[in-house]
Structures are given as structure tokens and as C-alpha cells.
Amino acid sequence: VGYMEIWVRSPRVISGDHRVREVFTFRGKTRTIRSVSVRVKRLSGSSPLVLRLIRSDGKVIARGTVSASEVRLTTASDEGGARWVTLRFKSKRKLQRGRRYQLVVSTSAEARYSAVVIRKGGYYRYDSDTYFRDGSAQWTSGSGWTGFDPGWSGPSREGDLQMFFR
């Protein structure tokens, strides 16, 4: 496994204009997917989590919500508490080789969720076949996207959202 740590002390809030995303280029052969899962925790509110899979041309190819009740309410200081949530698509979708995508995670301003990233080991020469090298996690407060900050070096491209497709 080419990941080395989770930045639990550097969470990003998901609420209103505050969103997180994974931006990636799909390098494998074209693949059919039926769902996407992401690991988050809920800090307050009852609004659902919104997941959107968007192509580089701006076309939303999948969108849906996950009920707040699927994510146990916890506190920001709880370094655990995150849960995997899954959005099952109404019909199959395709990830096409060489195309750029983004998975955007958001909710209304009434609720607060948070996400942390998992750090790739590339800087420490972990084999690039053991981590997802074709993307990185970003966050926004509504005025431009930036990489997650681990707390010691500023924004970085070393983090990935905890997510997967099936």
C-alpha cells in the first residue's frame, strides 16, 4: 500500500460554499461504474450530502444525495467518527481512458460535514503503482480551489480523498 498517513488534524469542512473534491485523470481502460463511496463525518445538521461526478467539459455525469442519517453525528475533535457513504447511480456510468474528472462533495449551509485526506507516499519513494498518482484532493470556501494543507507545509497535491468507485 503506497499511502502513509491520514491528515486527521487537517480536516476541511463541507457546508454551503465550503466543498471538497478529488480531481483526477482516468488512466485505466474505459470502465463501467455503478457507485461511488467517500469517507466523511457529520458535525451538525440534517441536510444530505451531495455527490457529483463531473467531466472536464463540465458535464455532470452522475449526481445524487446521501441521507444525513447514514453518517453518525460526531464532533470535530473526534479523530475517528468518519463513515463510508455510498451513492448508487440510477444507471451505469463510464469512466473513459484519458478523460479528466472531478468528484465534488457538498451540502447546504444548514449542515456541516468534514473530510480528511490520505497521503500518498511518492515523496518517500513509495512505488507509484501502489497509490493513486493521477489525482489529488482539493477544497474551496467558494473562491477558488486549493490542495489540502497537512499543517506543516502549505497546500499539497500529496493528498487524496478517501473514495472509490465500483
Cell reading at 45: 445538521
* pLDDT tens column, 147-157: 998 888 888 88
C-alpha cell at 147: 490542495
The CA-atom distances, in angstroms, between 112 and each of 25, 68, 79, 85, 147 are 29, 10, 16, 15, 20
Average pLDDT over residues 49-70: 97
Nearest to 35 by CA among 95, 81, 82, 83: 95
- pLDDT greater than 90 at residue 11: yes
- Position 121 scores a pLDDT of 87
The pLDDT of 67-72, averaged and rounded, is 96
Q: What is the pLDDT of residues 90-118, one digit of tens each?
A: 999 999 999 999 999 999 999 999 999 99
Q: Could you report the per-residue pLDDT of 18-55, keeping only the tens digit for each?
A: 999 999 999 989 999 999 999 999 999 999 999 999 99
Rounded to whole angstroms, the Cα distance separating 165 from 103 reads 11
